A and B are shown apart, each in its own frame.
Chain A
Amino acid sequence: MKGNIIGKRIPRIDSVPKATGTAEYTVDLKLPGMIYGKILRSPLPHARIKSLDVSAAEALPGVCAVITAADVPMGKFSFFQWLADKTIFSSDKVRYVGDEVAAVAAIDADTAEKAIELIQVDYDPLPAVFETEEAMTADAPLIHDQESNIGFKVERHFGDPDNAFESCDFVVEGCYKTDRVAHCCLEVSNCVASWTPEGRLSIWTNAQAPHTQRQEVARILEIPLQDVRIINSHMGGGFGSKLVMDMKLPIAAVLSKKTGRPVKIQNTRAEEFSTAKTRYGYTMYVKTGAKKDGTLQARTVRVIADNGAYHDKGPATLNFSSMMFATLYNIPNIHYEGMVVYTNKQMSTAFRGFGNPQLTFACEVQLDELAEKIGMDPVEIRRINANTPGQKLQCGAVVPTCGLRECIEVAAQNIAWKEKYNRKDKLRGVGVANMVHTAAGGRYYGYNATDSFIKVADDGTVSIVTPGLEMGQGVHTVVAMIVAEELGLDMKSVKVLSNDTDLTPYDLGSWGSRATFVVGNAALATAREARVVIIETAAKMLDTKPEFIDLENGMAVARGPGMPEKSVSMGKLAAYAINNMKAPISVKGQWADDIPEDWDIKTEFVKNVRSFAFATQTCEVEIDKDTGEVKVLKFVAAHETGTTMNEMLAEGQIEGAVMQGIGFTLMESMTLDNGRVVNDGFLDYKLPTFGEQPEIDVQLIETGDPHGPYGAKGIGEAGLVPTAAALANAIYNASGIRVTELPITREFMLNALREK
């Protein structure tokens, strides 16, 4: 769609403040009287706390407060409260290197740091376990007071895979592993907590989901929800790491309460690497069977996800990846078994794609193995198994629109697949992978809806209050574009107000590629409501009928048969509404996903997703035989957008995600020494830089969506979902080395090439 605004390459509304350094982030915030908090963390992966002595820290000049488990509510907490397993501070035992033990607040950060060092803790070390499959054995040390370290299990079953495998012409089995990787937001996790004299708590923090974090803070501190307010600023990246409340929020709140002053707590980069949570590492046992014509008949998987020491988004991650497992292709016989397993490591959490990048790596690499066994081109096997628009899948999901075949065509063509596949020269090769992802968040809260408000001011500007959480992806720009499009305004005339839970309507936050879809739909409904009121007002003012009024260039223009053209500016119109009609223009709009009332997530989990987006990525790599370096020459990322709201934003999302995918595949890994993260800085944790960045050819395929705003689908996460598989498949095509474990480091490649 090309409107006046929608579909155009519109610059972000926050780019000038960001390019001039005036955009304020939480980490820039300094309140009058503010003091600095610091958390004492466990140095051991698993140990009993024998004794704790804070007296020397308390005696240090400049220290305002020292708190331990004795000073805070000690009810257990988790994102899913039915899995609650973590207290604010550990009182009896610590379960990972970084577990919170105590905290101080002092007049400056240096004093707080010194005070932390003065706290004496006597630990009794316990045996620790770091690998999931070791943690599942009968004699493994138990991390929580439970029968085993398996924390949660889920199973999905469709058809009869066991029998189906019997009748398949080809079957492939294998084990695939992905590593735990860090989100690496450039702004570290931080917060400032402050109480009003009336006893109300405000927390400024970089949160992706302020309304649910508000509930989490109230829950863990055992205070009424109405006493908590969460305020966001500009945010230096999220990627899933800032969905669930970090313990520094209640800790800062308690320190602030105790001292009567605002308290700021901010991670160091090393703390961020050690405690800010990671992507769930997946170990996946996969089996796929097909007929000799390449049609997929059966697929099973057993996923073992590394939970770390406490629960977080594990069930959501496993459930979500089970759904994508069942919907990428229409396979009649499927079994999915997933579990999260405790280890003595930092917690895992959501990370762009909710388990789907891990699972897609395994499934799409195995599909290439299957194609090879059948003697089929990897592009061809994907083409014949691709879903089509309107298809009802065996698992129950319906795919209303699907552009996968178009994605496959363009991705193969733009990488010159026919010329380059199997050329077997100079260790160069090409690879392909498909993916499906949610384009509209998820419904597992039981609802997926939000509101927004619009007011028209007598200066001609329009303000929209939206809960759309801007973490860098551009949702505020999308919201402003929708309002401008509907009301005939330029972008400068639209203001987006957001990010304070006292101001914004309730919303679930920015995750699951849902913001454009859910928040965008609410903005569209609100803008259309405002349009009706504006046009009615203009009709009165211009003495004509509403059907003759149009909104364009900041004006309401009346054009009708046999009447002279008349117009009035938005500002004058708003003033008329205020002064003459005594009815200032302000409206509310809402969008609610029509979740079936009888939906049971346990049995009908496939209805968790409102809308799907498909994609194909292809790439070309060249491997250096002397260094093992995998040089990525080019990526083609062909993604279904439904309707492209803003090409520049969509490309930016996909380019950035592909680069995160390249890091996930080739470079990123947490190195542990007895549970301690050794590479806890950017010097040792390899993040992709300008040097690794290949040409990324983003192709946006418009298929429309029956429910998205203007037909748009969410595309925030999709860009890294197929990246690892496409790369691993290209590496196989280049070298004959089949990689089943991430990351594919230079060291691994070099050894593999030598062994060949």
Chain B
Amino acid sequence: MKELINLTINDQAYEVAVAPNQTLVDVLRYQLELTGTKKGCELGDCGSCTVIMDGKPVNSCLVLAMQAVGKDIKTIEGLETEQGLHPVQKAFVEKQGVQCGFCTSGMILSAKSLLDKNGDPTEHEIRKALSGNLCRCTGYQKIIESVQAASKGVSK
């Protein structure tokens, strides 16, 4: 029933046995113990489980693990480097785009994905790019400010 597959996550190769109906988020969280990726709804509605797959933000609860074979997957655990926090992470810390933190991984990855393509987005572009990510704590204002701060940080 289960099949061995190879996944590339944060530039590391993993070999995992997965069932055909197993989602990427479950493999990340339960088999690879990369629990920084959160599960908020399992239906693709909340964006908490956002990861970057081949440069695009995806809801990892809607991706089957087998569909991720051969793709380049980036999770929240893969952003920090030896140089320290990624500029988006740094901005979320400094501008307090974080409250309870449960949506934060997904927010940061959606924001990173936007800024990788568009280093100086308008406020409207930020709202649009992050519109698939729900937050119940912050009222979004400080998340927008965080992404704006990061965009200035990125373009410098």
Contacts and interface: CB of A to CB of B under 8 A. Distances in A.
B10 to A, nearest CB: 11
A186 B46 contact: yes
A210 interface: no
A648 B96 contact: yes
Contacts of A474: 99
B22 to A, nearest CB: 10
B29 A28 contact: yes
A687 B103 CA distance: 14
Nearest to B80: A20
Q: Among the interface residues A19, A188, A472, which one has the most CB atoms of the partner chain B within 10 A?
A: A19
Interface size class of B (residues with CB under 8 A): 35 or more
Given A25-B102, A691-B127, A15 B144 contact: no
A11 interface: yes
Nearest to A269: B41
A19 B109 CA distance: 10
Query: What secondary structure prevails in chain B residues at the interface with A?
Result: loop
Given A15-B92, A19-B85, A20-B77, A187 B100 contact: yes
B98 A682 contact: no
A187 B141 CA distance: 21
Contacts of B100: 185-187, 234-237, 471-472
A472 B140 contact: no
B63 interface: no
Give the 10 A-B CB pairs with smallest separation, nearest first.
A21-B36, A472-B100, A18-B101, A236-B102, A21-B76, A659-B139, A682-B45, A655-B139, A28-B35, A186-B102
A184 B142 contact: no
Interface in B35-58: 35-43, 45-46, 48
A20 B36 contact: yes
21 contacts: A11-B94, A16-B85, A19-B93, A19-B98, A21-B35, A21-B36, A21-B105, A24-B35, A27-B38, A30-B33, A186-B40, A236-B102, A237-B102, A648-B95, A651-B141, A651-B142, A652-B142, A655-B142, A689-B134, A690-B143, A693-B127
A303 interface: no
B131 A690 contact: yes
Interface string A669-711: 0000000000001110001111101011000000000000000
A688 B141 CA distance: 12
Contacts of B127: 690-691, 693
B131 A187 contact: no
Given A186-B102, A656-B138, 5 more contacts: A11-B96, A20-B89, A186-B135, A234-B101, A682-B43
B141 to A, nearest CB: 5
A515 to B, nearest CB: 14
Contacts of B136: 183-186, 237, 239, 656, 660, 687
A617 interface: no
Contact of B102 (A11, A20, A187, A696): A187
A268 B140 contact: no
A690 B99 CA distance: 16
Contacts of B102: 25, 185-187, 236-237, 472
A414 B39 CA distance: 40
B139 A681 contact: no
B98 A18 contact: yes
A657 interface: yes
Contacts of B40: 186-188, 269
Contact of B42 (A269, A658, A696): A269
Contact of B36 (A22, A187, A236): A22
Contacts of A313: none
B37 A690 contact: no
A662 to B, nearest CB: 9
Nearest to A266: B39
A689 B46 CA distance: 10
Contacts of A234: 100-101
Interface string B98-117: 11111111001000000000
A16 B84 CA distance: 11
Nearest to A23: B101
A681 B43 contact: yes
Nearest to A268: B42
A235 B89 CA distance: 20
B82 to A, nearest CB: 14
A528 B85 CA distance: 35
B25 interface: no
A474 B142 CA distance: 15
Most buried by B among A184, A236, A474: A236
Nearest to A185: B136
A34 to B, nearest CB: 11
Contacts of B79: 20
A188 B46 CA distance: 12
A473 interface: yes
A27 B101 contact: no
B130 interface: yes
A610 interface: no
B75 interface: yes
A221 interface: no
A19 B104 CA distance: 6
A649 interface: yes
Contacts of A696: 139, 141
B17 interface: no
Interface in A17-46: 17-25, 27-28, 30
A651 B89 CA distance: 20
B43 A656 contact: no
Nearest to B30: A30
B149 to A, nearest CB: 12
A279 interface: no
A287 interface: no
A19 B89 contact: yes
Nearest to B129: A690
B139 A656 contact: yes
Contact of B103 (A186, A188, A648, A655): A186
A652 B138 contact: yes
A111 to B, nearest CB: 13
Q: Which of B80, B126, B133, B141 has the most CB of A within 10 A?
A: B141
A468 to B, nearest CB: 15
A652 B96 contact: yes
A187 B134 CA distance: 12
B32 interface: no
A15 B139 CA distance: 17
A6 B10 CA distance: 39
A652 B38 contact: no
B137 interface: yes
A651 B143 CA distance: 13
B50 to A, nearest CB: 12
A36 B18 CA distance: 19
